[in-house]
Amino acid sequence: MPIKQIDHGTKEYKQMVDLRYEILRKPLQLNFDPAELEKEKNDILICAFEEEKILGCCLLTKIDKDCIRLRQMAVQNNLQGKGVGASILHYAENVARDAGYKKVMMHARKTAIGFYEKLGYKVSGHEFIEISIPHVTMVKKLHHF
């Protein structure tokens, strides 16, 4: 399962947006705002593929020189629980570490807290509502070797 960075606006990026829509937005009857997608030109876009088919993805958005935010983590429904998400997350952490970031933060859906905790993330702060569902902020310090 190759995991790689992709470029904004490509055929692979369209697959990424489609997957995120299916997994993250459609169940909530939400769409993407074109301005929101345009801003992703500045993000690090990470996807896992099998041949030409996207399996999962995430984005990394710079917060400041030490912190990067993981967003829009999505894995095909039939592949959830099979290690795809964990592999993508490890890859994203390595990209962030190589770029000099000291920590990764995210707004995790309450239903995903257990997944992120198993991978070393800690809840920071109180629960809040984002895109109509409960979330928490989670953080992980990246160790530089």
Question: What are the residue boundaries of the structural domains of the chain, listed by start?
Answer: 3-141
Are the C-beta atoms of 64 and 29 separated by less than 8 Å?
Answer: no
Question: Which of the listed CATH numbers 3.40.50.970, 3.20.20.70, 3.40.630.30, 3.90.1150.10 matches domain 3-141?
Answer: 3.40.630.30
71 HSE (CA, 13 A, CB side): 18
Position 131 pLDDT exceeds 80: yes
Percent of the chain whose pLDDT exceeds 70: 99
pTM, rounded to two decimals: 0.94
Residue 142 tokens, joined: 């990246």
Tell me which amino acid residue 135 is: H
> How many CA atoms does the CB half-sphere of 129 hold within 13 Å?
2
What 3-state DSSP class applies to 107?
Answer: strand
* Predicted local confidence at residue 10, as pLDDT: 96
Q: How far is CA 10 from the centre of its chain?
A: 18
Residue 1 binned pLDDT confidence (cut-offs 50, 70, 90): confident
Average pLDDT over residues 1-5: 94
- Would you say residue 144 has pLDDT above 80? no
